[in-house]
A = this chain, B = another copy of it.
Amino acid sequence: MDILKEKILQYGKVIDNRLVKVDSFLNHQLDIELFNEIGKEFKKRFREKNITKILTIEASGIGIACITAQYFHVPVVFAKKHNAGNLGKDIYQAEVYSFTKDVLYNVRVSKEYLSSEDKILIIDDFLANGQAVTGLINVAKQAKAEVVGVGIVIEKRFQKGREMIEDKNIKLESLAVIEKIRDGKIVFN
């Protein structure tokens, strides 16, 4: 998706040849016109999947998921990482390890909002080692819902996320795939 790659090259900040900071348009300040292009593109790529629900994770996934949901005419459910006390006890949950922050956390979804009838599209901003997406797939599985696709805005291909998802035979579409970062320069696939 060219417009996205251009934004990343123009505004992304590379840190340690490993992280790409895209705060200015994707996950702190949010470029809603770009989000609409992202939503349309996800619709194009998952059109045939009869999606009934979009599942994402707080906080950076929410905006992208909401704008995308308009093209599928389905609700969004976001998994909680923080302050999930008021969810009650009827929840699905999975443990997620964050390599970036070296912490373990739980993703939690109320049992009321996922069902065995659901065909789920998981949406997230980044795919690196695939831990967060794996947690969401796990949560969906507990609900006996079917995950029919994973849509990612920026994939870091040099980490293990893609393998983890493709091993589960789930269709994965990433709108910008970073093959490698060398000397602070981003190289797309």
Contact = CB atoms under 8 A, between A and B. Distances in A.
A65 B38 CA distance: 17
B59 A80 contact: yes
A76 B63 contact: yes
Contacts of A36: 70
Interface in A65-83: 65-67, 69-70, 73-78, 80-83
Nearest to A13: B88
Copies of this chain in its oligomeric complex = 2
A10 interface: no
User: Which among A24, A28, A80, A85 has the highest number of chain B CB atoms within 10 Å?
Assistant: A28
Nearest to A83: B101
A87 interface: yes
B59 A28 contact: no
A101 to B, nearest CB: 7
Interface in A60-119: 62-63, 65-67, 69-70, 73-78, 80-83, 85-87, 101, 109-110, 112-113
Interface in A18-69: 21, 23-25, 28-33, 35-36, 58-59, 62-63, 65-67, 69
Q: Which are the 8 A-B pairs with shortest beta-carbon distances?
A: A58-B59, A63-B66, A30-B76, A29-B113, A62-B62, A32-B69, A59-B59, A29-B77
30 contacts: A23-B112, A24-B113, A25-B75, A28-B78, A28-B80, A28-B87, A28-B110, A28-B113, A29-B75, A29-B77, A29-B110, A29-B112, A29-B113, A30-B69, A30-B76, A30-B77, A31-B75, A32-B73, A32-B74, A32-B75, A33-B73, A36-B70, A58-B58, A58-B59, A59-B80, A63-B65, A67-B70, A82-B82, A83-B101, A85-B101
